[in-house]
Amino acid sequence: MRNHLENLEVLINNFFFEDLINAIYKNIDPHPSFKKVEFKVSFERDKPSLNILVSDGVGGMISPILYFSAAQTNILSLSVFLANALHAKDDKENSIDVILIDDPIQSMDSINILSTIDLLRSICLKFGKQLIISTHDENFFGLLQRKIPSDIFGSKFLQLKKFGVVASVGPILN
């Protein structure tokens, strides 16, 4: 039975891209102690379950849903989403090179917002992905313009004036 569980753990790691999730999660660094994401299968109840846990590297392991703040949970969710989006394929097994994200920074503090922007910028550069981000947060929008400027990265920034009316946004002048 032990070999079956070990094989199942390897399959789960590969399916969920656990190593990539951890690399992304560590780039944002939302928790001072619990820095490693793990997927654990449990056969202890009538129905098997798959749990997302975080560990502190020295034996402590917790359920983030029970102990993390909303921002820390959002960062973990964003890490899982991005890892899967980076491996997304169309129905012909071609890589999908566009990632759509709606308001990725909910409840985050300034440091985590800046880390998230740096992460998103590095995903564009390292993986050749196009990111389309929607937000209602004007400060986040301004930070994106400053940290991923159009003249260096070819970024495009649009603003919705009203339903169906899109306006171009000029570069930010310092």
CATH number at residue 110: 3.40.50.300
Give the pLDDT mean for 118-134.
Answer: 94
Q: Domain count for the chain, please give it.
A: 1
pLDDT-above-90 percentage for the chain = 59
Q: Give the pLDDT of residue 169.
A: 83
Q: Give the pLDDT of residue 144.
A: 94
Residue with tokens 């891209």: 17
Question: Residue 150 domain-assigned?
Answer: no
Judged against a pLDDT cut of 90, whether residue 47 lies above it is answered with no
Question: Residue 18 domain-assigned?
Answer: yes
Question: Residue 116 domain-assigned?
Answer: yes
Question: Residue 106 domain-assigned?
Answer: yes
Question: Residue 139 domain-assigned?
Answer: no
Q: How confident is the model at residue 2 (pLDDT cuts 50, 70, 90)?
A: low
Neighbours of 166 (CB within 10 A): 10
Rounded to an integer, what distance in angstroms lies between the CA atom of residue 136 and that of residue 138?
A: 6
Question: Residue 119 domain-assigned?
Answer: yes
Q: Which domain does 97 fall in, by range?
A: 2-134
Question: Residue 91 domain-assigned?
Answer: yes
Q: Give the pLDDT of residue 128.
A: 92
Q: What is the mean pLDDT of the chain?
A: 89
Angle between helix 110-127 and 138-147 (nearest 10): 50
Question: Residue 94 domain-assigned?
Answer: yes
Give the pLDDT mean for 30-56.
Answer: 86
| Per-residue exposure over 52-89, b if at least 16 CB sit within 10 Å of its own CB, e if not | bebbeeeeeeeebeeebeebbbbbbebbbebbebbeee
Give the pLDDT mean for 66-78.
Answer: 92
Judged against a pLDDT cut of 70, whether residue 171 lies above it is answered with no
